Amino acid sequence: MPGVAADDRTGAPPPSRRKRLIALLAAAVVVGGAAYSAYYFAYGRYYEATDDAYVSGNLVQLTPQVTGTVVAVNADDTQIVKAGDSVVTLDPADAKIALANAEAGLGQTVRRVSGLYVDNDFYAANVAQRTSDLNRASDDLRRRLAVSGTGAVSAEDIAHARDAVSAAQAALDAARRQGEANRALTDRTTIEQHPDVLAAAAKVRDAYLAYARDNLPAPVTGYVAKRSVQVGQRVSPGTPLMAIVPLDGVWIDANFKEVQLERMRIGQPVKLTADVYGSSVDYRGRIEGFSAGTGSAFATLPAQNATGNWIKIVQRLPVRIRIDPRDLAAHPLRIGLSMQVQVDTHDESGTQLGAARNTTYRTDVFAQYGAQAEADIAHIIRLNESAPRSMSTKPAAKGAAA
C-alpha cells in the first residue's frame, strides 16, 4: 500500500529494535563467557576427564610343568575357582613308577650308608684284636730271646717268633687302614647329611615334584576364561590350558591427551563411572602411575613421522588408576568394560614419575610340593636308618605260634 513504510512492508524490525536485539545477544555472549571463565578458573581447570578408558586386569595363565595326558578338567569358562583347587589332572602312572623307583633307591642308599657307620665299630674291634695279636706275638718273642742264651730255644723258633711279630704288625696296619678308609666315608657327617643319601634324596625330590605336578591347581582365586584344554589331550610344559581372571584386583587404564597431563600427579583422586552401571554408580580411585610412553610408541609398528607430508597428531598417554576395593566389591567390573574418568588435580604435591608404588604378585599353592617331598624323604630315611627290633621279632613269634 502506498501509505505503508518500507520496513513494515518487509516485516523487518525497526532500527532501534534491531539494535536492542544485537545488544541483548552481545550481553548474553559476554555473560556466558564470563560465567564460563568463572567456572573454568574456579572449578573446571582442576579437572581432567576422558571416556577413552577401559577396565584392565591380570590374565593368569594355567600351564603344565610336565608332559602328560589330561584325564580330568574340573572347571569351565565363567566358573569361579579358588586358589589351590585342582583344575586339571594329568595321568600320573609314569610319574608314580618313577617316584617308587627313586624312593627304593633312597632306602637302599640309607641302608648301605648305615652299614658304613656300623662298620666303624667293626673295624675298631678288628684293630683291637690285631693289637692283641701283636702284643702276644711280641711277648712270645721276648720270652724266647730271654732264654736263647741257655740253648732252651732254637734259632728257628726265634725266627718264627720274629715272623709272627711281623705278620701281626702287618695285620694291625691293614686293620687300621681299613678303619681309616671307612671313617673317611663317614667322618664329619650324619646319615641324613651323607653325600650319597643327599644325592638319592635329590632324585626322590625330583620324582616327587614330577608326580605332584600332574595335578594343576589354580594359582589364584578368579574366573575361568579362554579354556582350550580337553580331556585326552597330550600337553607339554608351557602349553596354555586356560586363563584365570582375579576380578578383585582389576584397574583402569585411562588414555589422556598429552595436553591434559600438565597438572596430573600420582595419588590424585579420581571419580569413575562405568557404562555397564550408568552414571548412578560412582567409583572412587587414585592415580597409581603413568606409562613410560604413549600408545603409539609401544605399538608393533610405530609411526614414522620423518616424512614430507607429516601431520601432527595429539598423542595419548595411558594412566593407571587404582579403584577402591570396597566400591569394586559392591559393583564388580569385568575386563574390557568402558569407563568415564574424571581426575581432580587440586593437589599437585605428587610427582608423575618415581613415586609409584611397586606391586607384587605371588602364589603359594606350589610351595606345599617341596614340604611334602621333604616329609616323604624324612620318612624313608627314618624307616631304613635302623630296623626296629619289633619288626625283626614278629615273624619269629608267628612261626613259633604256628
Domain match, 143 and 229 both: no
Average pLDDT over residues 197-220: 94
Query: pLDDT band at 387, cuts 50/70/90?
Result: very low
CATH of the domain at 120: 1.20.120
- Digit-coded pLDDT (tens) for 290-347: 988 887 777 777 777 666 677 788 889 999 999 999 999 999 999 999 999 999 998 8
Q: Determine which of 31-40, 319-328, 336-345, 386-395 has the lowest per-residue pLDDT on average.
A: 386-395
Entry pTM: 0.70
What is the domain count for the chain?
Answer: 2
- Asked whether residue 129 falls in the same domain as residue 193, the answer is yes
pLDDT value at residue 306: 67
Distance of CA 244 to the CA centre of its chain: 15
In order of 65, 210, 239, 375, the CA distances from 92 in angstroms are 13, 9, 18, 20
Neighbour order of strands in the sheet with 222-225: 60-62, 242-245, 222-225, 80-81
Shared-domain flag, residues 146 and 103 = yes
Q: What is the mean pLDDT of the chain?
A: 84
Q: Same structural domain for residues 220 and 80?
A: yes
Which cell numbers in the block locate residue 223? 574366573
Closest CA to 287 of 251, 241, 331: 251
Q: What is the pLDDT of residue 56?
A: 94
Which carries the bigger pLDDT value, residue 338 or residue 171? 338
Same domain? 205 vs 141: yes
Range of the domain at 239: 60-87+216-243
Domain boundary among 211, 233, 260: 211
| pLDDT at residue 230 tops 90 | yes
| Domain identity same for 229 and 186 | no
77 within a domain of the structure (yes/no): yes
SS3 of the chain? CCCCCHHHHHCCCCHHHHHHHHHHHHHHHHHHHHHHHHHHHHCHHHEEEEEEEEEECCCEEECCCCCEEEEEECCCCCCEECCCCEEEEECCHHHHHHHHHHHHHHHHHHHHHHHHHHHHHHHHHHHHHHHHHHHHHHHHHHHHHHCHHHCCCCHHHHHHHHHHHHHHHHHHHHHHHHHHHHHHHHCCCCCCCCHHHHHHHHHHHHHHHHHHCCEEECCCCEEEECCCCCCCCEECCCCCCEEEECHHHCEEEEEEEHHHCCCCCCCCEEEEEECCCEEEEEEEEEEEEECCCCCCCCCCCCCCCCCCCCCCCCCEEEEEEEECHHHHHHCCCCCCCEEEEEEECCCCCCCCCCCCCCCCCCCCCCHHHHHHHHHHHHHHHHHHHCCCHHHHHHHHHHHHHC
Q: Are residues 158 and 201 in the same domain?
A: yes
Which of 166, 189, 211 is the C-terminal boundary of a domain?
211
Both 66 and 206 in one domain: the answer is: no
- Beta strand 80-81 with 86-90 is unpaired
Q: Name the residue with higher pLDDT: 74 or 352.
A: 74
Confidence label for 394 from pLDDT (cuts 50, 70 and 90):
very low
Q: What's residue 356's pLDDT?
A: 64
Domain presence at residue 70 = yes
To the nearest whole percent, how much of the chain has pLDDT over 90? 45
Residues 67 and 207 both lie in one domain: no
